[in-house]
């Protein structure tokens, strides 16, 4: 099944636009996992099991694994997702961007080694740097458009031929690069006005929308600006707010129960503003 078909099916089946980000930071792990050799694997599996039914996607961020020489644990996590939750897309967040020959290797890394359903890529080097990912016809290629960070404006907001650069990216992807219908765009929840602009340009193209939770993006404004006519169209990502949710001492919650509680609250807060 293609990435886009999988996403459409799980949006419906789970009634959720929530993407759970897997950004494992050992320093924030519960005490009983500290110092264990496979702590990242154990932590991520526990989070996945606690939140799978609330999510429309899981998004592992590769830097958190690579920095700790834990790519083998990322492989195991992706294999676990494939085996236990094959209906939930895996979005590998790698933000790659390089010349074609090198991009071919990055595409193999994402789609063969990790067997991800989709990968995030940077459009700065132009079409030939993105083309190798598009060769993988059943996979998703999620292109940075209007990122959630404050410095995103430095380049993405530059006026080019009368409109900001990020709108050119949206138009280029929608009109020229997406010939196989496998593209999506990254647009931060921290910029709902721009999210609405992108939605106007790209029709029903899926959007990966990080920036709620720890980065403070407004859920109501995000959903109103970014949803499609049928109330879908987005993978709204939250990582740290779910992974490291504060446990409620009164009820004696553990970290998985706290993560599940916040994931459910976030999913429901999103659903409150969706079109029926």
Ligand X SMILES: O=C(O)c1cc(=O)[nH]c(=O)n1[C@@H]1O[C@H](COP(=O)(O)O)[C@@H](O)[C@H]1O
Binding site for ligand X (CB under 6 A): 21, 23, 61, 93, 95, 120, 147-149, 186, 188, 210-211, 213-215, 237-241
Catalytic residue among 28, 84, 95, 200: 95
> Which of 101/213 has CB closer to ligand X?
213
> Which of 8/239 has CB closer to ligand X?
239
Active site residue 95: yes
Least distance in Å: CB of 94 to ligand X? 9
Axis crossing angle, helix 219-226 with helix 192-202, rounded to the nearest 10: 20
> Which of 148/256 has CB closer to ligand X?
148
> Which of 66/275 has CB closer to ligand X?
66
DSSP code of 158?
A: -
Least distance in Å: CB of 276 to ligand X? 27
DSSP 72-99: HHHHHHHHHHHHH-TTSPBEEEEEE---
> Which of 120/232 has CB closer to ligand X?
120
Least distance in Å: CB of 144 to ligand X? 7
Handedness of CA 201, 271, 10, 119 (dihedral sign): positive
Least distance in Å: CB of 241 to ligand X? 6
CA distances from 44 to 58, 78, 257 (A): 10, 10, 14
Least distance in Å: CB of 244 to ligand X? 9
Contacts of 186 (CB under 8 A, 6+ apart): 120, 142, 143, 144, 145, 146, 147, 207, 208, 209, 210
DSSP H helices in the chain: 3-13, 39-51, 62-66, 71-84, 100-108, 127-134, 152-156, 165-172, 192-202, 219-226, 240-243, 255-272
Task: List the catalytic residues.
Answer: 95
């Amino acid at each position: 099944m293609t990435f886009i078909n999988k996403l459409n099916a799980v949006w419906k089946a789970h009634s959720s636009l929530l993407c759970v980000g897997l950004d494992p930071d050992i320093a924030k792990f519960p005490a009983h996992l500290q110092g264990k050799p496979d702590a990242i694997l154990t932590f991520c599996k526990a989070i996945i099991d606690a939140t799978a039914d609330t999510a429309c996607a899981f998004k592992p961020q590769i830097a958190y694994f690579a920095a700790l020489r834990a790519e083998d644990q990322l492989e195991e996590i992706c294999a676990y997702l494939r085996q236990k939750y094959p209906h939930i897309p895996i979005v590998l967040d790698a933000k790659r961007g390089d010349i074609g020959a090198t991009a071919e290797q990055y595409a193999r890394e994402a789609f063969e080694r990790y067997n991800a359903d989709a990968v995030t890529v940077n459009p700065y080097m132009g079409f030939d740097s993105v083309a190798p990912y598009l060769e993988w016809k059943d996979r998703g290629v999620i292109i940075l458009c209007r990122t959630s960070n404050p410095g995103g404006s430095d380049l993405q907001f530059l006026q080019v031929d009368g409109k900001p650069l990020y709108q050119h990216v949206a138009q280029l992807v929608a009109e020229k690069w997406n010939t196989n219908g496998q593209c999506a765009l990254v647009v931060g929840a921290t910029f709902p006005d721009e999210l609405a602009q992108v939605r106007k340009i790209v029709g029903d193209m899926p959007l990966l929308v990080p920036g709620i939770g720890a980065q403070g993006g407004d859920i109501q404004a995000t959903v109103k600006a970014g949803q499609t006519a049928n109330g879908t169209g987005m993978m709204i990502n939250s990582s740290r707010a779910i992974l490291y949710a504060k446990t409620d001492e009164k009820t004696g919650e553990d970290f998985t129960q706290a993560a599940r509680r916040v994931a459910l609250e976030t999913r429901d807060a999103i659903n409150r503003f969706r079109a029926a």
